[in-house]
Homo-oligomer: A and B are copies of this chain.
Amino acid sequence: MNNYADRLIESVKRKANPCVVGLDPRIDQMPNFIKKRLTDESSEDDICQAVVRFHRVILDAVAPIVPAVKPQIAFYEQYGLGGIQAFMDTIRMAKKRGLIVIVDAKRNDIASTAQAYANAFLGRTRLISTEHPIFDVDCITVSAFLGRDSLEPFVKTCVEYGKGIFVLVKTSNPGSVDLQDLRESESHRPIYTHLARMVAELAQEAIGKSGYSSIGAVVGATFPHQAKELRSLMPRSIFLVPGYGSQGGTAEDAAHCFNPDGLGAVVNASRSITYAFQNSDITEDEYARLVRTKTETMAKELTAAIHRRDGRT
């Protein structure tokens, strides 16, 4: 079982692209070539088929150029059983196309419950005497609000099955300052630096041949100064960087999340790639071409920004 970080780094290098495409099914915003097949009375199966078809178009367009995709499970859950079926089908399609699948789930719970989440997404679930893979993705995002013991079942499962996690350290939304930026009284340093230290420690348990660990961190592109500091606190962790595009993060901002080797981060864009054309009657082929172009543009901007940053330092 290969180390997750090694697989991700290898794919980023091979495709010369650190971009991740986020998959957020929002049927009411999908292009008409998808939406026109649905009505308000559509069955769970119809909903599932529509979401799967939308994602098949996107996956076919981006699979040759990006290392990974990031389904956001909230947008699947909001369609109930049909949505969960589409989630599983999307995962299968992505894996079949050689893509690494990072599920954005932000799960967190006490250790015994965290183990159930780890089983569901990364490991296996015991039925009677044997264990079965369930969603079986490469990586999920997790929150550390409940503390270190809430992360340990995930770390153990990552090591056992060659999987990964990205722990929320500094999120991309404006409200991330409310809790994450509070300063701890003894050190006078923000909470996110405490989380970073916890992640750096856990990261030691899953370092691959690439030198990177399968225990990564979520660090928003919208807070570049904090990203710089966090980069030095967690040298072995790959960063998953949200907040690029629709949320206002730029390529320059995201560049701070990369190490001097030009690696160590993957940058996600969801809405700015997949919902940039929502009010048009474009055909499936046109949509696929536009998604691919948007993704290529993002990769170029990001690569240029990393080079500019390295030129400066």
- Of B47, B88, B184, which one neighbours A80 at CB under 8 angstroms? B88
Beta-carbon nearest neighbor of A172 in chain B: B110
**A39 on interface, CB distance cutoff 8 Å:** yes
Question: CA separation between A116 and B28, bound complex, in Å?
Answer: 12
Chain B residues with Cβ below 8 Å from A173 are 110-111, 146-147, 149-150
The SS class assigned to the A binding surface is: mixed
Question: CA separation between A107 and B221, bound complex, in Å?
Answer: 22
Chain B residues with Cβ below 8 Å from A42 are 127-128
**A107 close to B74 (CB less than 8 A):** yes
**A213 on interface, CB distance cutoff 8 Å:** no
**A127 close to B27 (CB less than 8 A):** yes
Interface footprint category on A? 35 or more
**A2 on interface, CB distance cutoff 8 Å:** no
List residues 140-188 of chain A with CB under 8 A from any CB of chain B: 143-150, 168, 171-180, 182-186, 188
**B117 close to A77 (CB less than 8 A):** yes
* Nearest Cβ on chain B to A60's Cβ, whole angstroms: 25
Chain B residues with Cβ below 8 Å from A294 are none
**A145 close to B145 (CB less than 8 A):** yes
- Of B78, B116, B126, B148, which one neighbours A175 at CB under 8 angstroms? B148
**B84 close to A40 (CB less than 8 A):** no
Chain B residues with Cβ below 8 Å from A74 are 107, 109, 113-114, 116-117, 120
**A39 close to B109 (CB less than 8 A):** no
* Nearest Cβ on chain B to A118's Cβ, whole angstroms: 9
- Of B27, B84, B107, which one neighbours A81 at CB under 8 angstroms? B84
Question: CA separation between A28 and B184, bound complex, in Å?
Answer: 43
**A56 on interface, CB distance cutoff 8 Å:** no
Interface string of A40-81 (1 = CB under 8 A from B): 101000010000000000000000000000001011011111
Of A129-137, A230-238, A278-286, which stretch is located at the interface?
Answer: A129-137
**A16 on interface, CB distance cutoff 8 Å:** no
**A128 close to B40 (CB less than 8 A):** yes
Chain B residues with Cβ below 8 Å from A24 are 113
**A191 on interface, CB distance cutoff 8 Å:** yes
Chain B residues with Cβ below 8 Å from A81 are 81, 84-85, 88
**A78 close to B134 (CB less than 8 A):** yes
Chain B residues with Cβ below 8 Å from A40 are 127-130, 132
Instruction: Please name 16 further chain A to chain B contacts, defined as beta carbons within 8 Å, in addition to the given A27-B128, A78-B120, A80-B120, sorted by A numbering.
Output: A24-B113, A27-B127, A40-B129, A72-B113, A77-B134, A78-B125, A81-B81, A84-B84, A104-B109, A110-B242, A144-B178, A147-B180, A149-B175, A179-B195, A182-B184, A182-B194
* Closest CB pairs A-B (n = 8): A147-B175, A147-B178, A149-B175, A74-B116, A183-B185, A110-B173, A185-B185, A78-B120
8 contacts between A and B (CB under 8 A): A26-B116, A38-B127, A40-B128, A72-B116, A75-B116, A146-B173, A148-B178, A183-B185
